[in-house]
Chains A and B, each alone.
Chain A
Amino acid sequence: MEKKKHKILIVDDSEMNRAILLEMLEDEYDIIEAEDGERAIEMIQKHETEISLILLDIVMPKIDGFGVLKIMEQKRWIEDIPVIMISAESGASHVEKAYKMGVTDFISRPFDALIVHKRVVNTILLYAKQKRLMSIVEEQIYEKEVRSSLMIDILSHIVEFRNGESGLHVLHVRTLTEMLLHYLVRITDQYKLSEEDIAMIGVASALHDIGKIAIPAEILNKPGRLTDEEFAQMKTHSAVGAQMLKELPIHQEEPLVQIAHDICRWHHERYDGRGYPDGLKGDDIPISAQIVALADVYDALTSERCYKKAFSHEKAVQMILNGECGTFNPLLLKCLSELSDHIRDELGNNFADSSNQREMRKVVVEMLKYEDLSSSEITHRLLEHERMKYSFFAEMSEEIQFEYTSVPSMVNLSEWSAKKLGLSEIIVEPMKNEKIVNMMDTENMNSLIKMLRNTTPEKPVVQYDCTIKLNGEDRWMRFICRAMWSNDEQPQYTGAIGKVVDIHDARIQRNNLEHMAAHDWLTGLFNHNYAKREILDRIKKRPDSKFAIVIMDLDTFRNANYTHGHLFGNKILKETANKLKQNIRSDDIAARIGGDEFLIFMEYKDGISAAIERIMSRVSGKYEEFVISLSVGLAETDIVGADYDKLFSAANQALSVAKKTGGGKYMVYNDTMSDISSELSPIDVIKDNNTNL
C-alpha cells in the first residue's frame, strides 16, 4: 500500500513565498496553503488531526503569525502540531517571542532550501516518533486504569462484608508477593513471568481470602482452638472464594480475575500435596498461589491474631524455613531466605506510611512523565468521538449552533450552520465582522451579550428573540444560549454556547392569530371582546379620568342590504369603519360590536359633544347612492360611574332613545332614561341635533 504523505500547511500572504516552499516540499509532502492567519485557523480547525506541520509567516493581514499561535495555544493545537516559523523578521525579540509561544523552530529569510527541507523532515519525524511513543504509553496506562477500576469494583463489593480482622494483611501479602516474585524471576526463568504478570498477581493477591466472608464471624474471630468441625468449615473459604470469582457477572474473562481465582482456590495447597481443597502437588499449584501462600503464612506469623501473639521477623522466617508451617517450593524458600533482611526493612514498623508514600511517589512520577499525555492523548480518542457525535447531531438538527469565546473574541460555527449562513466556521472578532454586522443589529448583539454577562453560573441559560437578515429577508430568530463560566473560585465569564432557532413562521402565525383574535375580520377595527378588555384595562389604569362609551349604528343599513345586497352592505360598513378610524384620536378605541353597530371609547376633559358632533358629521354622507346616517348613544363615567357593563348598557339605552326619536342624532345618557328607555316614544325628544334628516 502506498504510504500516506504527511500534510503540511503553509501560511504566508505572499503567493511567491508559498510557491517557493511548495517547490521544495511538494514531492514528499501533501501541501495545503493559507494566505492569511484567519484562513490558517480555519484550515487547522478543519484538518486538525491530519496536519503534521505548519510553516508560518509572521507579517500577514487579518491575523498575523503570532495571532495564529495564540489561538493555537488556546485551542491546545500547539501541543500536537509542530510549527516552524519562517520570517524576514529576524530580530531577537521576534525569535524569542515565537519560541515562547511554542514554535518548534525559527527559520529566517533568506533561507537555504536544503536547510528548510531538512528541518521540515526532522520535525515531522520527531513528532511522529513522539506520537507513537505516546500511544504505546497510553495503552499501558489505560490498561492500568481498567485494572484498578476493576479492583475497586470487586473490592467495594466485598468490603461491605469484611470484618476488620486483618487490617494491613492484604497490603502486606501484596507487597511480599511482589517482592518474592521479582526475586524469583531473577534467580530462575522457570516460570515465564513478565512485569505485567507480576503486577497482576500482586493486585490479585489482595483477593486471596475473600471466601472468608462466607465463614461465620464466631469461627473467624474465635480466640481459642477451632474444633474439627469448625476447622473444616474454615477450610471451605478457599473454594468458596474461587467460586465467587467464577460467578462474577462481569469481567469474567479478565486475566486478573482468572489469576485471582487461582490464588483464592489454591493458596492453602502444599508443595507436598497435603494441602486443601484439591491436594495439588509441586508445580501443579500455580506459582501465583504458591507465592501468596508463603506470603500469607509469613504475615500470619508476624501479626497479632485473636488466638496468638506476633512473632518476630527472624523467628517467623526461621519457622517457615524449618518447615514448621507447611511445605513450600524450595525455590521460594530460597527467595525468602535471601530476601529476609530486605523484607524486614520493607514490612517494618512504618510499613503503612512508607507504602503509601511509595504509591504516591509512583503516581507523581507517572503524572510528571505523562503530563501532557493525560490531558491530550488519552482523552483524544474520546474527544474525537464526542466531536463526531456533536457534528452529526448538529447537522441533523438543522439548527444554527455556535460557540463563542470572549477572549480572544471568536465565534465557532458548526459546519452546517456556517454553510447555512454563508459564513466561515471560525469568525474572529465577530462584532467587527462585516457579514455578521449586516446580519444582526449591533444593538441586538449588545443586548444579547449583556444578558449573557448578567447570568450566573447557577442560572446560565438565556433566551433572546430578534430579527436576523438572511438572504436579504428579516427573519425572527430565537437565541438559546448558555453562558460559560470558569470553575474558579470567582467564576469568570468565558463565552457562551448556543443555538439559533428560526421562529419566524411560528411567530408570524402567532401574530396573525393574535390579530385575528383581537380584530373584526371585515373592517379591521377591534372586535367587541378585545375592545372590552382594552376598555377595562384603561379604566383600571386611570381611575381619575373621565371616559365615555359611544355606541352608534347606521340608520338605514337594513335597506342597503335589502336593496343592494350584502356585498354592498359590507362596503358600507368598511367605508364607515375607515372614516371612524380617520376621525378618532389615536388614544380612542374603535370597535365593530355587531352587524352595523360600532363602539368608540374615549377619554374627555370638559365636554364630549364637540368631538361626537365632529365624528358624526365626518362619517355621515353619501356612499355611491346610499346615504349614511348615524344614530348615536353615549354614556359618561361622570354620570354612570366607571363600570363597563353599566356604561355599555347606558349607552345602549341612549342609542335606543336616539333611534326611537327618529335617528340621525346623538343622545347622552341621563338618569331619566334608566326607567323609561324601552318605552320611549318618538315624541319624547330629549335632544335633537337635526343632522341629516
Chain B
Amino acid sequence: MTLKECYAVIGGNYDDVVSRFHSEKIVKKFVLKFLNDSSYELLCSSMKDENYEEAFRAAHTIKGICQNLSITRLYEISGQLCEALRNGFTPEVPILVERTKEEYKQTLTAIKEYQRQNEVV
C-alpha cells in the first residue's frame, strides 16, 4: 500500500497534504507519528470522567492534527464533536463521540496496515 492508497482508505486528501508539506517523506513521518498520539485516550478517559472541558480539548487536538494532515473524514467528525463540546455537554455529544471513536479506530487500523506493509518492503 502506498501513502496515497492509505489516504484513500482513511478518507484523506493526499494531494492537498503533500502540496502543503512539499514532501511526501515528511507527510509519511507525521502520519506514522499519528499512531503515537494520545489525544484519543484523553478523549475516552475525559468522557468517562464527564470532564467535558478536557474532552473538548482532546477533540480539538484530534481535529487540529487531522486538519494539518488532511485526514478529512476524521477531521470533519471530530470537528463536529468539538463544536458540540465547546460549551460543555450537549445531547448530540454521545453519538458524536461514538462516531469519532469509530472513525479514529478505522483510521488507525489503516495507518497501522500501511506501516506494516512498508516495514516489510
Contact B57 A17 (CB under 8 A): no
Chain A residues closer than 8 Å to B38, beta-carbon distance: 15
Contact A88 B22 (CB under 8 A): no
Contact B64 A113 (CB under 8 A): no
For A1-21 the 0/1 string (1 means CB < 8 A from B) is 000000000000111110110
Q: Which of A104-112, A414-422, A580-588 contacts B (4 or more CB under 8 A)?
A: A104-112
Chain B residues closer than 8 Å to A16, beta-carbon distance: 30, 33-34, 37, 61, 65, 68
Chain B residues closer than 8 Å to A109, beta-carbon distance: 64, 67-68
Asked whether any CB of chain B lies closer than 8 Å to the CB of A638, the reply is: no
Asked whether any CB of chain A lies closer than 8 Å to the CB of B54, the reply is: yes
Chain A residues closer than 8 Å to B67, beta-carbon distance: 88, 109-110
* Count, chain A residues at interface, CB 8 A: 18
User: Which of chain B's residues 47-66 have a Cβ closer than 8 Å to chain A?
Assistant: 54, 56-57, 60-61, 63-65
Which has the most chain A C-beta neighbours within 10 Å: B16, B17, B56, B68?
Answer: B68
Contact of A88 among B34, B39, B60, B69 (CB under 8 A): B60
Given the interface pairs A19-B33, A61-B57, the reply to whether A14 lies near B21 with Cβ below 8 Å is: no
Chain A residues closer than 8 Å to B60, beta-carbon distance: 59, 88
**How many angstroms between the C-alpha atoms of A415 and B33 in the bound complex?**
37
**How many angstroms between the C-alpha atoms of A351 and B57 in the bound complex?**
69
Q: Please give the distance in Å from B121's CB to the nearest CB on chain A.
A: 24
Contact of B20 among A14, A19, A60, A110 (CB under 8 A): A110
Interface of B is mostly: helix
Interface of A is mostly: loop
B75: nearest chain-A partner, CB-CB:
A110
Asked whether any CB of chain A lies closer than 8 Å to the CB of B26, the reply is: yes
**How many angstroms between the C-alpha atoms of A60 and B61 in the bound complex?**
9
Given the interface pairs A59-B57, A113-B20, A114-B22, the reply to whether A17 lies near B68 with Cβ below 8 Å is: yes
Chain A residues closer than 8 Å to B16, beta-carbon distance: 110
**How many angstroms between the C-alpha atoms of A666 and B96 in the bound complex?**
91
**How many angstroms between the C-alpha atoms of A14 and B63 in the bound complex?**
11
Asked whether any CB of chain B lies closer than 8 Å to the CB of A458, the reply is: no
Q: Please give the distance in Å from A39's CB to the nearest CB on chain B.
A: 15
Given the interface pairs A110-B70, A111-B68, the reply to whether A19 lies near B57 with Cβ below 8 Å is: no
Chain A residues closer than 8 Å to B56, beta-carbon distance: 59
B38: nearest chain-A partner, CB-CB:
A15
Contact of A23 among B19, B26, B63 (CB under 8 A): B26
A60: nearest chain-B partner, CB-CB:
B57
Contact B68 A61 (CB under 8 A): no
A61: nearest chain-B partner, CB-CB:
B57
Contact A23 B61 (CB under 8 A): no
Contacts A13-B61, A59-B60 known; 11 new A-B pairs at CB < 8 A: A16-B65, A17-B68, A23-B26, A109-B64, A109-B68, A110-B16, A110-B20, A111-B20, A111-B68, A113-B21, A114-B22
The chain A residues found within 8 Å of chain B, CB to CB, are: 13-17, 19-20, 23, 59-61, 88, 109-114
Q: Report the 6 A-B pairs with minimum CB-CB distance, sorted nearest first.
A: A14-B61, A112-B20, A110-B67, A88-B64, A109-B67, A16-B65
Q: Identify 19 residue pairs between A and B in the complex whose beta-carbon atoms are under 8 Å apart, listed by A's number.
A: A13-B61, A14-B37, A14-B39, A14-B65, A16-B33, A17-B61, A17-B65, A19-B33, A23-B26, A23-B29, A59-B60, A61-B54, A88-B60, A88-B64, A110-B67, A113-B20, A113-B21, A113-B26, A114-B22
